[in-house]
């Protein structure tokens, strides 16, 4: 049994082959011991790990464990997923939205990390808890899908009220910038607050990715990361703003497991 592990800040993700089929498994980082027990349950296993919590998880494993640089593992995994889905992209921006966001330029077999932003899935969870008290991911996404952002976010149309704006009116001029003019209007709902949190994260991720794509003269942006899992509101914001910026967004299936897949591939 060959197992690739990506132990990140929020999740431990595993990729392995079973009956000639690629399988996936994941554990929240709070259940690191359960992840170790699952791995140790195999009689024989070749294991490669990557990610920030790899060293900690490695100390709990009974087997000899190889390690791999996280960025290399992720890029190798993305190449595998794109090839599997007949993707023609050879040069593109890779944006990994996990707890935070990391941005890379991939040109055939070369990869360069361009930087990133601390705005990511951790921002969604942290701000959502501060603004609504909610800590459950599924509940946050479900409620956000029902929210309306116009009472919280300042749009271009709000600024150019009664006049023709130089930009599309529904573009956000300032995230959370429409709060002060509200005065004593009806209280903002949890749905509206959560929709604006996801809007803030999605727009930030998309805008910095589009700028990177423009700088390197590529048109495709590959978006991966656990933040997109069962999160249509985030995906819709990112897709909309990416297209608005003139680039093409791609969300490969199982993209959140790219690091684990790359670690698995290194085992041969």
The confidence score (pLDDT) of residue 166 equals 79
The confidence score (pLDDT) of residue 170 equals 82
The confidence score (pLDDT) of residue 44 equals 86
pLDDT above 70: percentage of residues in the chain? 98
For 62-97, the pLDDT digits (tens) are 989 999 999 999 999 999 999 988 777 789 999 999
The confidence score (pLDDT) of residue 262 equals 97
Any idea where the domains of the chain sit in the sequence?
Answer: 1-85+252-268, 89-147+189-251
With a CB cutoff of 8 Å and minimum separation 6, the contacts of 34 are: 27
Is pLDDT above 60 for 184? no
Judge if pTM exceeds 0.75.
yes
The confidence score (pLDDT) of residue 196 equals 98
Is pLDDT above 80 for 182? no
The confidence score (pLDDT) of residue 28 equals 93
For 95-146, the pLDDT digits (tens) are 999 999 999 999 988 889 999 999 999 999 999 999 999 999 999 999 999 9
Q: Provide the pLDDT confidence category of residue 165 given band limits of 50, 70 and 90.
A: confident
Question: What's the Cα-to-Cα distance from 134 to each of 126, 145, 155, rounded to whole Å?
Answer: 9, 15, 26
The confidence score (pLDDT) of residue 141 equals 98
Q: Provide the pLDDT confidence category of residue 245 given band limits of 50, 70 and 90.
A: very high
Q: How many CB atoms lie within 10 A of CB 44?
A: 6
The confidence score (pLDDT) of residue 255 equals 96
* Residues 10, 15, 17: CA angle, nearest 5 degrees: 165
CATH class as words, domain 89-147+189-251 = alpha beta
Phi, psi of 176 (to 5 degrees): 65, 15
The confidence score (pLDDT) of residue 183 equals 58
- Does 89-147+189-251 match 1-85+252-268 at the fold level? yes
Q: Provide the pLDDT confidence category of residue 179 given band limits of 50, 70 and 90.
A: confident
| Catalytically active residues, by annotation | 70
CA 152 to chain centre: 24
The confidence score (pLDDT) of residue 57 equals 96
Name the token pair of 132. 């609504």
Say which CATH topology domain 1-85+252-268 has: Nucleotidyltransferase; domain 5 (3.30.420)
Q: How many CB atoms lie within 10 A of CB 55?
A: 12
Q: Provide the pLDDT confidence category of residue 219 given band limits of 50, 70 and 90.
A: very high
Residue 15 CA to residue 96 CA, distance in Å, equals 17
User: What are the residue ranges of helices labelled H in 113-267?
Assistant: 121-132, 137-144, 156-159, 190-216, 232-244, 258-265
For 24-34, the pLDDT digits (tens) are 999 999 999 99
* Burial of 85 per CB tally in 10 Å (0-12, 13-18, 19+): exposed
Helix (H, G, I), strand (E, B) or coil at 158: helix
Mean pLDDT, the chain, rounded, equals 93
* Burial of 41 per CB tally in 10 Å (0-12, 13-18, 19+): exposed
For 199-209, the pLDDT digits (tens) are 999 999 999 99
248: left (phi over 0), alpha (psi -120 to 50) or beta: beta
Name the token pair of 97. 């939205």
Of 11-20, 31-40, 174-183, which range is least confident? 174-183
């Amino acid at each position: 049994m060959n197992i690739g592990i990506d132990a990140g800040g929020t999740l431990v993700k595993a990729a392995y082959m079973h009956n000639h089929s690629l399988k996936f498994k994941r554990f929240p980082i709070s259940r690191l011991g359960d992840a170790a027990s699952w791995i140790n349950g195999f009689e024989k296993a070749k294991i490669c790990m990557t990610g920030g919590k790899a060293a900690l998880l490695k100390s709990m494993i009974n087997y000899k464990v190889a390690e791999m640089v996280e960025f290399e593992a992720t890029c190798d995994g993305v190449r595998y997923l794109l090839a599997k889905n007949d993707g023609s992209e050879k040069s593109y921006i890779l944006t990994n939205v996990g707890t935070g966001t990391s941005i890379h330029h991939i040109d055939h077999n070369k990869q360069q990390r361009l930087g990133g932003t601390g705005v990511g899935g951790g921002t969604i969870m942290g701000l959502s808890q501060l603004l609504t008290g909610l800590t459950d991911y599924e509940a946050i996404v479900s409620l956000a899908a029902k929210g309306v952002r116009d009472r919280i976010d300042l749009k271009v149309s709000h600024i150019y009220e009664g006049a023709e704006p130089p930009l599309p009116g529904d573009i956000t001029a300032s995230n959370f910038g429409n709060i002060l003019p509200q005065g004593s209007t009806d209280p903002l709902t949890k749905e509206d607050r959560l929709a604006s949190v996801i809007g803030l994260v999605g727009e930030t991720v998309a805008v910095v990715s589009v700028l990177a794509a423009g700088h390197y003269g590529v048109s495709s942006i590959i978006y991966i990361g656990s933040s997109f899992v069962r999160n249509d509101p985030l995906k819709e914001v990112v897709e909309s703003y990416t297209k608005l910026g003139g680039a093409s967004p791609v969300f490969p299936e199982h993209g959140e497991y790219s690091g684990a897949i790359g670690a698995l591939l290194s085992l041969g």
